[in-house]
């Protein structure tokens, strides 16, 4: 008697479920146990993609080229014996596109800083598949742990400007699951804010007082100095 057909197993044997454009993937479908000949049909969202007949217990292999957004989604295969009605369906495999990231932008709310000040730096890549991992640098030195963002938002670090050595070129890098796609940001430099001398407000105040005294003396001449001069003649 023919052996009862089991639900086939759909397995990815070449490629990944996260795919890039023009990537080839190979799927294997096998019903075990099952009596050949067996017809295997591959479906994508209930639409037939391809079909193969196997007269042995070797898996049916389906090779696909992911060339557009319509090629991603859920795939299943169906196994059915030629001498029986109906059939059994496999588990599903779901392909998704991964997009390369765009060049990240490094920015800060302030471009000037002084010693003893806290500042922030944010790194953001506008495009690319999530999650995105960010890393901050000063020169060639890593100054932060890797920060993996699951949402479309910037990675932010807080810095304390302690000395003049903290005024250097900062950069960040970003990458995601897209292969060989690490990108670096623009360079960002803080400039040293001019610190006002404590004596400067005092000098300005003394200058204003002196100017007011001169103006006051000039105004007093017609009323006090000239009458006194005339009285002494």
Residue-wise pLDDT for 29-56, tens only, equals 999 877 788 999 999 998 999 999 999 8
Q: Give the structural domain span for 145.
A: 105-192
* 42 and 15 fall within a common domain: yes
Q: How many domains does the chain have?
A: 2
CATH of the domain at 185: 2.60.40.10
176 and 121 housed in the same domain: yes
Look at residue 40 in the predicted model and tell me its pLDDT: 95
Domain end residue (candidates: 192, 212, 228): 192
Does pLDDT of 155 surpass 90? Answer: yes
182-214 tens-digit pLDDT: 999 999 999 888 765 554 666 777 878 888 888
Q: What is the model's pTM?
A: 0.63
Residue 168, Cβ density class (10 Å: 0-12 exposed, 13-18 middle, ≥19 buried): middle
Same domain, 138 and 185: yes
Task: Phi first, then psi: give them for residue 37, nearest 5 degrees.
Answer: -80, 145
Torsion angle defined by CA atoms of residues 31, 35, 36 and 38, in that order, rounded to the nearest 10 degrees: -50
Residue 1, pLDDT score:
42
């Amino acid at each position: 008697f023919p052996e009862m057909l089991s639900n086939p197993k759909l397995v990815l044997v070449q490629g990944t479920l996260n795919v890039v454009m023009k990537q080839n993937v190979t799927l294997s479908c096998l019903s075990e146990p099952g009596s050949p000949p067996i017809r295997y049909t591959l479906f994508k969202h209930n639409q037939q993609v391809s079909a193969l007949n196997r007269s042995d217990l070797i898996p049916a292999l389906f090779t696909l080229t992911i060339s557009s957004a319509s090629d991603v989604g859920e795939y299943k295969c169906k196994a059915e014996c030629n001498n029986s009605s109906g059939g059994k369906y496999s588990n599903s495999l779901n392909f998704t596109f991964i997009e390369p990231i765009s060049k990240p932008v490094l920015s800060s709310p302030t471009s000037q800083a002084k010693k003893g000040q806290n500042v922030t730096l944010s790194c953001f890549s506008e495009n690319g598949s999530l999650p995105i991992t960010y890393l901050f640098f000063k020169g060639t030195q890593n100054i932060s742990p890797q920060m993996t963002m699951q949402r479309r938002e910037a990675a932010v670090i807080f810095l304390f400007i302690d000395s003049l050595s903290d005024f250097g070129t900062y950069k960040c890098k970003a990458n995601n699951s897209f292969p060989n796609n690490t990108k670096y940001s623009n360079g960002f430099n803080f400039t040293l804010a001019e610190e006002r001398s404590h004596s400067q407000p005092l000098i300005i105040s003394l200058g204003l007082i002196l100017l007011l005294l001169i103006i006051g003396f000039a105004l007093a001449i017609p009323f006090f100095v000239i009458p006194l001069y005339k009285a002494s003649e």
